[in-house]
Every structure is written in C-alpha cells, then in structure tokens.
Amino acid sequence: MSNDKKSQRYEQGMKTRRAILGDDWVDGAEARKTVFDAPFQELITEAAWGHVWSRSQWTPRERSMVTIALLAALGQDEELAMHVRATANTGASAEDLREAMLHVAIYAGVPAANHAIKIVKQTLADMEGSKV
C-alpha cells in the first residue's frame, strides 16, 4: 500500500489501535517503522486492528482477555506484556487476567500459565508504580 491513500480499513484500524494501545505506543511503533517492515505494519493495522479489533460483537475488554490468554498460551512474552499494559484502555481488570491465566493453565498447560503469570504480575506492578 502506498503512503498516498490508506484504505478505510487501515484508517479504522489505526483509530482502534490508538484507542487500545495509546498514542505513545503507536507513535513509537510508527517512528520505528522502516521500508522493510512497513508492509507488515500496514497488514496488522488493517487485519488485526481494522478488522478483528474493530468488530462490535465483543467489547474491547472481552477481546483483551482473549488476546492475553492466546499470547500467554503461545509464549509471546513481549506481546503479552504490551496487551497487559493495554488493559488500562480496554477495561480488563487484574481479576479478569487471573481468570484468563486459569484458562491458560487448563487448556494450554501449567508451565505456559506459570510463565505468563510472572509476566502479567510484573507488568501490572510496573503499571501500578507508574500510575498508568
């Protein structure tokens, strides 16, 4: 996609991405974008944020909990921490995250949940310390 005209799905995706992750995060990601990863950034903005996260069938809180559980199950530590930080904007509570980790333990395994719980706890502590 050229830089001239972005699709409606991209524009919606960027709006949703900013609402969930915050302007600072998105601005930083945009600043780090290179020619190499620009197509990937456009893909995730359109597909993940413009299509999936922008759907009205689930609330941002519900999408947040499902996303966090999936990332925990897959061992995607950096993305997991990023989405835990995003709970400041999605409304998912620490109790919601605890329940998601219990599901991870049953459906993806105790080791995956144990590792993810460490990341969730540290990220929540960091957020509390910075009053996010």
Model pLDDT, residue 5 = 85
- pLDDT tens, the chain, 132 aa long: 445 689 999 999 999 999 999 999 999 999 999 999 999 999 999 999 999 999 999 999 999 999 999 999 999 999 999 999 999 999 999 999 999 999 999 999 999 999 999 999 999 999 998 654
In the chain the domains, ranked by start, together with CATH numbers, are 1-57 (no CATH), 58-132 (1.20.1290.10)
Count CA within 13 A, CB hemisphere, residue 67.
24
Prediction pTM value: 0.90
